[in-house]
Structure 1
Amino acid sequence: MRYADFIESVLREASIIANKNFGKVVGRIKPHDSTQVLTDTDIEIGSYLVGEVRKNYPTHNIIDEESGAIDNGSDFTWVIDPIDGTANFAVGVPTYGAMIGLLEKSVSIAGGLSLPSFNQIITAEKDKGAYLNKELIKVSSETDLSNTLIAIGMDPDKEDPDKIRNQMKISAEVLLNSRNLRSSNSVFDLVMLAKGSYGGWISLSGKIWDNVGPQIVLEEAGAVYTDYLGNPIDYSDPLTKTELNYTNCVASPVLHKKLQEIIHSI
């Protein structure tokens, strides 16, 4: 089975689980991170996805946001976010979904994103393109940043309020140079970017499970995918990187260059 076919199949089933529980869950704060919300559906979907990977690819490693890492000593590592946008999901906001990606050593080679409430699934494999419900998609061809919507993702950090205030300065500069900003702070923004509705995405906080699936999807859709400062994303020794903070700047080559000019001017 092609990785993309497997990914589409499991994301389809994960979407069924999410839609079944949507509007019926109660969110709770994760004990180790007051900015993160957890529901029983995160656990249910995570358990399902981990189980399917273990059944179909028993020798591969796994990183799941909720259950942790399984080290099988493999060059292949599946990275799973059962619900990205749990805070949205927990209060009945439909901008959430699942993300799954596959690393070969330190390179993202396959991945998928889902939006259960919109019946949308994107899959991608390296050098094979990105497909939304089996239709080839590309990022926006717009070259004028002022004509585009830019997604911004950030999380609160009450221990470092100056960091948040600086992030708002960044957002202000991007807003002044684009049509407007959008922020579901979830996989919804990434799907909008991949299908060409948004022009770019900047995020200042995230984990490895927020990146491996999206990176291959967005690169196969034609985007440049880097950290906030324009550097390559580092997935070397992925099982050791579950606590590492990742930042992002993602857009078409033309718009990525313009966003980097703004970022480096601040």
Structure 2
Amino acid sequence: MSSTLAASRGTHAGGAAQAGLRRGSSVLPVLPWSGSVLKQPKQQQPQQRRTAAAALSGRRQRRAVRAVAAPLAPEVSASEHTVELHAAVEAVRLASRLCQAVQVELKTGEKVEKEDESPVTVADYGAQALVAWSLQHAFPGQPLSMVAEEDAIDLRTAEGAVMLARITALVNEALAVEHPQVAPLTPGEVADLVDSGSSQGGGQGRHWVLDPIDGTRGFVGMRQYAVCLGLLQEGEVVLGVLGCPNLPQYAITADDCDEGQAARSFSDEAVGTMFAASKGQGAYAGPVFGGMPRQRIFCNDILAPGEARYMESFEARHSNHGLAMQIADEIGVELPSLRLDSQAKYGALSRGDASIFMRFPDASYREKIWDHCAGVAIIEEAGAVISDALGNPLDFSQGRFFPDLNGGIVAATPSMHRAIMAAIRKIRGLPPREQQAEQ
């Protein structure tokens, strides 16, 4: 067993039993939290307000966050997807353990470049293999249809043999922690597990949807990332789990979005969050290395636009930051954006850290269903709304890619979502949605 994996196991022991987290001299409930309420002078222009707010320290912003009490459920309520939800949480936890260990040990020689130029690490492959193994272990004898990001084509070549050996070692180290009775896997078995993510999905049957490491640039940059696993049934999202090893269990600030988060996850029991939701049963959060997430969470729809915060991708190449700021100005948002990687944004929105997430990629980019499936389940069960840029629901029934999304994706609390849809139509010179419907 690697020393890093063993250390991470000890650090988080007993974390699931905590109903609150001690930070300094205060004891705070874990989740959810409202957004910040820092207001800037009204006479300032939007960009001046953002500059002034950004100058405030993370410490001051954190003091301004108000805890919102929520019931502590003994466990996720029983539903037709209870077994699948438990299996998904276990699979994501297992993969998160490997990812956490690899992130702090990541070496330049252990990453390659894919055709789409996003960095891929050995953890990407290892996490996918572990999720596939865990689901097969949970449902023996059942065929596994999994729509996932990676395949083992490069790993099966002579040039990929060294990387495959490294992945196999990491997979076996993680299994030794969580499943010590399991015999070590061979490189061939690990490659087969990676390739089990080749399903095309679609609107019929049941398909698991996996992004083994969402936010790979954040992963390599020691920022935020997430292991994301969702389940489609007849083309509809019925559950989702997000493992966010670097995301604090308290409301995030800009300080939690930058580099250096990986090291904190080993020393701070309040860092590392798991989100889980199944259709009609609510959204929950808890420590990533605890048991089932038990804290019921809700989005925060009581903030005025001037008190709301919006989120966007850390990388400017992933979304049009200028358009997002224009929309924020139009609806009266005054606080600067939070920029962080991965579907961790969906988790933050679902517990009230922010009110809005806007994503406007280049027109040539095709959105993949694994980049949103798990997060959609969680934010919808937390009371938020997600759609394409013109208010249409996301369609997961068309295979591995979404059909046209009219320029982007918007997730927000109900009131903020309505305001954003109106702002987008105004900026694009389109008639209000009600007027268009009458025509």
Deviations 1:46-89 (A, max 9, x none): 11112222343432421111125236996001100111111111
Partner residue, 2:412: 251
TM normalised by structure 1 equals: 0.87
Partner residue, 1:186: 342
Contact in 2 for aligned 1:109/1:126 (Cα 8 Å): yes
| Aligned residue identity for 1:7 | A
State the identity as a percent. Answer: 22
Alignment counterpart, residue 76 of structure 1, candidates 206, 214, 217? 206
Contact in 1 for aligned 2:201/2:397 (Cα 8 Å): no
Distance 1:33 1:49 in 2: 23
Name the structure where strand makes up a greater proportion of residues. 1
2:410 counterpart SS class: strand
Contact in 1 for aligned 2:211/2:227 (Cα 8 Å): yes
Distance 1:116 1:110 in 2: 20
Contact in 2 for aligned 1:143/1:254 (Cα 8 Å): no
Tell me, yes or no, if structure 1 residue 172 matches structure 2 residue 325.
yes
1:72–1:102 distance in 2 versus 1, CA, 3 Å: closer
Alignment counterpart, residue 280 of structure 2, candidates 114, 127, 139? 127
How much has 1:145 moved relative to structure 2?
1.9
| Aligned residue identity for 1:151 | M
Contact in 1 for aligned 2:346/2:376 (Cα 8 Å): no
Deviations 1:197-244 (A, max 9, x none): 110111124421011111111100001111122111111242xx3486
Alignment of 1:69-218 (within 5 A): 69-70=198-199, 75-93=205-223, 95-117=224-246, 118-133=271-286, 134-153=294-313, 156=317, 167-176=320-329, 177-178=332-333, 179-205=335-361, 206-218=367-379
1:229–1:71 distance in 2 versus 1, CA, 3 Å: closer
1:70 counterpart SS class: coil
| Aligned residue identity for 1:54 | Q
Tell me, yes or no, if structure 1 residue 14 matches structure 2 residue 14.
no
Distance 2:236 2:382 in 1: 17
1:156 counterpart SS class: helix
Distance 1:181 1:29 in 2: 31
Pairs aligned (count): 254
| Aligned residue identity for 1:126 | K
How much has 1:33 moved relative to structure 2?
0.7
Structure having the higher Rg: 2
1:168–1:71 distance in 2 versus 1, CA, 3 Å: closer
Partner residue, 2:150: 66
1:14 counterpart SS class: helix
How much has 1:155 moved relative to structure 2?
5.6
Structure 2: give runs of 5+ residues left out of the alignment: 1-81, 152-196, 247-270, 287-293, 362-366, 428-439
1:23 counterpart SS class: helix
1:56–1:141 distance in 2 versus 1, CA, 3 Å: same
Deviations 1:6-36 (A, max 9, x none): 12111211221111112222364533112x1
TM normalised by structure 2 equals: 0.54
1:182–1:143 distance in 2 versus 1, CA, 3 Å: same
Partner residue, 1:260: 421
Distance 1:245 1:61 in 2: 25
